[in-house]
Structure 1
Amino acid sequence: MIRGETPMRLRATIAGLALAISTASASAETIRIAIGTQDTTINCATGGLLIRELGLLEKYLPHDGKYQDADYQVEWKNFTSGAPLTNEMVAGKLDFGAMADFPGSFNGVAHLDAGKRSLFISVLSGSTQGSGNGIVVPAASSVQSLAELKGKTISVPFASTAHGMLLRAVAAQGWDPEKDVRIIAQPPEIAGSALRSNRIEAHADFVPFAELFPNRGFARKIYDGSQAEAPTFHGALVDADYAKKYPEIVTAYLRASLEADRLFAAEPEKYSELIEKVTGIEAEVNYLFHGPLGLQTRDLTWKPEYRQAVATSIDTLKLLKKTDRGLDTAKFIDDQYIRAAFKAAGQDYDQALKNYAQLPLKANDAATGKPITDFKRLAQIWVRGEDKVRHYASPEAALAALAQLEQEGKDIRAIYAQATDSGIKLLASQAWFVRNDKGELNAFLLKQQAEDYAQRHGGTALDFTSANQKQAVASR
């Protein structure tokens, strides 16, 4: 017995201590934050890899009010595609997930089938034009366009955003996907090996493989998703019950995503290198997508085109007989959390919603030192060992500089050019060019596009090697 305490007082003291311990335990709640990422799908970087590697989530997690004594248990799990990530979300093993419009829509359907709900809370990166998805053929193939693949076999990761693009591209050719082409399921890791050994005639895939495989030298891109004019994006999802219980945590996650986006925009080369270090996806491919004037735009706002992409994905899933269930996109897409994140970060969501511009570039020509004011014919060179990409006002200026760099024994990491027709960024070594009588070069993805332009405007269509040789002669 405690000295001075009567038995009744002692019991009251013990009860009070028990209540205090119980209250402290309740206030020190352990809150799980389990996030599923797709590291090699570099579109998801600002919703996963960069947040994790830079410790950004911890920076924004709430520590006041009901979270004053919260003990956060942050868990990260990496996936190579959206389907297994969705399985774990439905099973309650994950709270957040990052994936493309197609698997994201299936995520919503799968949750409904299980008597649950998920919410699509933010875009992370995408293209209202459709760039990102693409079709490649083996490097030695004579095929130059999709039109030449009639009767051929095309592999694709089934029920992916690339699958949806492929079906739309086939329909645009007026083909029957059941008769005029043979579409088979093949994930990118298998397709890469098949392309290397010429065991597949063509492969359709999502970010970054339609650029990664050509960059590695064993494939050639013959179709870009922008030709299908089908918007595509990757975004973030959350379990609806989790969001209702912890809305401030959802907002914190999206604030971390906004911060990752800001950092990437400020130093694209640096963070392209970080993505390569973690994933093995070459930095030059990461920069191709997400550097200035890149293939895709990192954009966290729910533009109408992205909302439509979700609706189209659901319709296509029905066509593929992956589901017979509808999904109310007005309820599935929930922008309240990203709006809250923008507000907390001091940014204007509605202004960003109206902005369709690619990440801008402010740069001087590496050859002349003069500011570049017209970016339609921008060309760039990334020299291995250099922290920054070199910028040139034209492809011919870049090729002239390339000759000098090669004479100096420099290792060229990548050369980029902007497509004259679509404006998308290209790997110049894979591109076609039209050289006019002034010696000016205009870049195109496809041989046919270059030949059509040359016929309309004059000039000669050349592949990269020929364009480089012509420029070398002209520079002497």
Structure 2
Amino acid sequence: MRLKTLFSALLLTVSSFATTANAAETVRVAIGTQDTTINTATGGLLVRELKLLEKYLPKDGKYKHVTYDIQWKNFTSGAPITNEQIAGKLDFGLMADFPGSLNGVAHEKAGRKSLFITVLSGSVKGSGNGIVVPAISQVQSIADLKGKTISVPFASTSHGLLLRAIKAQGWDPDKDVKIITQAPEVAGPALQSNQIEAHADFVPFAELFPWRGFARKIYDGSQADGPTFHGGLVDAAYAEKYPEIVVAFLQAALEADRLFAEEPEKYSELVAKITGVEAEVNYLFHGPLGLQTRDLTWKPEYRKAVGTSIETLKLLKKADQGIDVDSFVSDRFIKEAFKASGRDYDAALKNYDQLPLKAKDAVTGEEIKDPKRVAQIWVKDEPLVRHYASAENALKALKTIEAEGKTIRVLYAQDRNSGIKLLGNQAWFVRADTGEVSAFLLKEQAEAWAKEKGGKVLDFPGARSAVLASN
């Protein structure tokens, strides 16, 4: 009897040990990021650098004894992230609508499934993608590119933009232009040496190349009126096994989004430090009234963008068949993350506004009310950007700032038509007889405004001189 009791106790001990061993599971959380694609920052770079994922990963219930193996891998585009996911080396991936759709197709071909679980940043208008030309080019708009060679990263979201833009001109993409494939790291030097006549690209290169002085933006994605975004995907089997981890990842992204909104200058500098993409360009996207909106909700326009991407991929023969968008795009996890973070998903879903600017004019002290008239100046060695109610106020302020021996990092202006943020030294301006100054991306847009409302079309130096001469 005693022997039987000892044997039972031994079995209980072994069983208890096995249970503890099983509970002490190591769970991998492997995330593929694109650091230089700066509008993925709130799902990748910031989450990693601020260790936000560690903050939200579950630590109770079935995860009480879990050890997390967090792996971050950085890539320059979405395709290699998809390859790593298919190979079982990544669980999450951050990429744009086009490569994200290709991710879904590739998983199905491999007998697996991925889920598009969130948007991170995007534009229902299409801003973010764009077309640039060498700085010395005489080309002023896409209409001037007929018969010319245009490079683009093939099967990227900017490739889709280029095809839409060509279609809008009524051109045949196989006859009226020559499209070649070229990654941004190759296109930059090619633009500098005038080896290509134009280049279409995704975030942030249509702004980064002009900022660095060797290119000029002649087409913005908003002109094609086709929504675009970057977001996050997860392996469907992983999400089914670890739904709480997926929600935790999205809670971390929501916090990163909040932090960037509260201190855009600070985190623009952090992104610059990690990526080499200048803070002035990061702020162009992530600051108030930015070029894109950071939006983690599945707006109908973003769902439509996924469907359009899949159809375009079929046209490009990059996909043999489509996939069911309704089952591929999943809002289940992001809704749970919003709820867990105390935020209202439905209210965010209905909100289409740019990140608002709540500020007073740095000179007059007046409340800034019209977002399309706003201009901003970032002064070297100042932690915060100065805001102005109008472009003319900002242009006047330049003289005072420079007289104080300070250096201007950048001047921003909002496009009077579309409301997108512009680099001031790249913009065209119209100065009305009243002294009011309006900014525009394209010269032809400025000319149309001047013809309709009166005024003189000026480049940045001309606008600055005209405003100062009137004082």
2:190 aligned residue (194, 205, 211): 194
Equivalent residue, structure 1, for 2:367: 371
Equivalent residue, structure 2, for 1:243: 239
2:230 aligned residue (231, 234, 250): 234
Partners of 2:218 and 2:351 lie apart in 1 by 30
Query: What is the total number of aligned residue pairs between the two structures?
Result: 471
Would you say 1:214 and 2:232 are equivalent positions? no
- The correspondence of residues 250-265 of structure 1 with structure 2, limited to 5 A, is 250-265=246-261
Q: Is the 8 A contact 2:361 2:389 kept in 1?
A: yes
Shift of 1:132: 0.2
Shift of 1:368: 1.3
Q: Which residue identity lines up with residue 391 of structure 2 in the other structure?
A: P
**Structure 1 residues without counterparts, runs of 5 or longer:** none
Equivalent residue, structure 2, for 1:109: 105
Residue deviations 1:383-402 (CA, integer Å, cap 9, x gap): 11111000011111101111
2:335 aligned residue (326, 335, 339): 339
Residue deviations 1:85-116 (CA, integer Å, cap 9, x gap): 00001111000011000000000000000000
Q: Does the residue aligned with 1:126 lie in a helix, a strand or coil?
A: strand
Partners of 1:149 and 1:232 lie apart in 2 by 23
Partners of 1:11 and 1:56 lie apart in 2 by 48
2:280 aligned residue (247, 261, 284): 284
Q: Which residue identity lines up with residue 98 of structure 1 in the other structure?
A: L
Shift of 1:17: 2.6
Equivalent residue, structure 2, for 1:381: 377
Equivalent residue, structure 2, for 1:434: 430
Would you say 1:145 and 2:141 are equivalent positions? yes
Would you say 1:406 and 2:375 are equivalent positions? no
Equivalent residue, structure 1, for 2:219: 223
Partners of 1:374 and 1:464 lie apart in 2 by 21
Equivalent residue, structure 2, for 1:321: 317
Q: Is the 8 A contact 2:371 2:419 kept in 1?
A: no
Equivalent residue, structure 2, for 1:304: 300
Q: Is the 8 A contact 2:133 2:139 kept in 1?
A: yes
Would you say 1:468 and 2:464 are equivalent positions? yes
Equivalent residue, structure 1, for 2:176: 180
Residue deviations 1:195-214 (CA, integer Å, cap 9, x gap): 11111110000000000000
Partners of 1:373 and 1:105 lie apart in 2 by 39
* Greater Cα offset, 56-65 or 296-305: 56-65
Residue deviations 1:223-249 (CA, integer Å, cap 9, x gap): 000000000000000000000000011
Partners of 2:276 and 2:289 lie apart in 1 by 23
Shift of 1:472: 2.0
Partners of 2:408 and 2:315 lie apart in 1 by 45
Partners of 2:370 and 2:177 lie apart in 1 by 42
**Structure 2 residues without counterparts, runs of 5 or longer:** none
Q: Could you state the TM-score of these two structures normalised by the residue count of structure 2?
A: 0.99
Equivalent residue, structure 2, for 1:42: 38
Q: Could you state the TM-score of these two structures normalised by the residue count of structure 1?
A: 0.98
* Greater Cα offset, 123-132 or 58-67: 58-67
1:22 aligned residue (18, 23, 34): 18
Partners of 2:353 and 2:225 lie apart in 1 by 17
Residue deviations 1:345-395 (CA, integer Å, cap 9, x gap): 111111110000000011011111222122221000001111100001111
Equivalent residue, structure 2, for 1:80: 76
Shift of 1:13: 3.8
Partners of 1:9 and 1:305 lie apart in 2 by 68
Q: Does the residue aligned with 2:167 lie in a helix, a strand or coil?
A: helix
Shift of 1:135: 0.3
Q: Is the 8 A contact 2:129 2:220 kept in 1?
A: yes
Residue deviations 1:294-332 (CA, integer Å, cap 9, x gap): 100000000000000000000000010001111100000
Equivalent residue, structure 2, for 1:90: 86
2:201 aligned residue (205, 209, 213): 205
Partners of 1:218 and 1:83 lie apart in 2 by 28
Equivalent residue, structure 2, for 1:136: 132
Equivalent residue, structure 2, for 1:268: 264
Q: Which residue identity lines up with residue 177 of structure 1 in the other structure?
A: P
Equivalent residue, structure 2, for 1:348: 344
Residue deviations 1:242-291 (CA, integer Å, cap 9, x gap): 00000011000000000000000011111111100110111111110111
Partners of 1:259 and 1:344 lie apart in 2 by 12
Identity over aligned residues, as a percent?
Answer: 69
Shift of 1:18: 2.1
Partners of 1:422 and 1:103 lie apart in 2 by 27
Shift of 1:470: 1.1
Q: Does the residue aligned with 2:470 lie in a helix, a strand or coil?
A: helix
Q: Which residue identity lines up with residue 171 of structure 1 in the other structure?
A: K
Would you say 1:360 and 2:356 are equivalent positions? yes
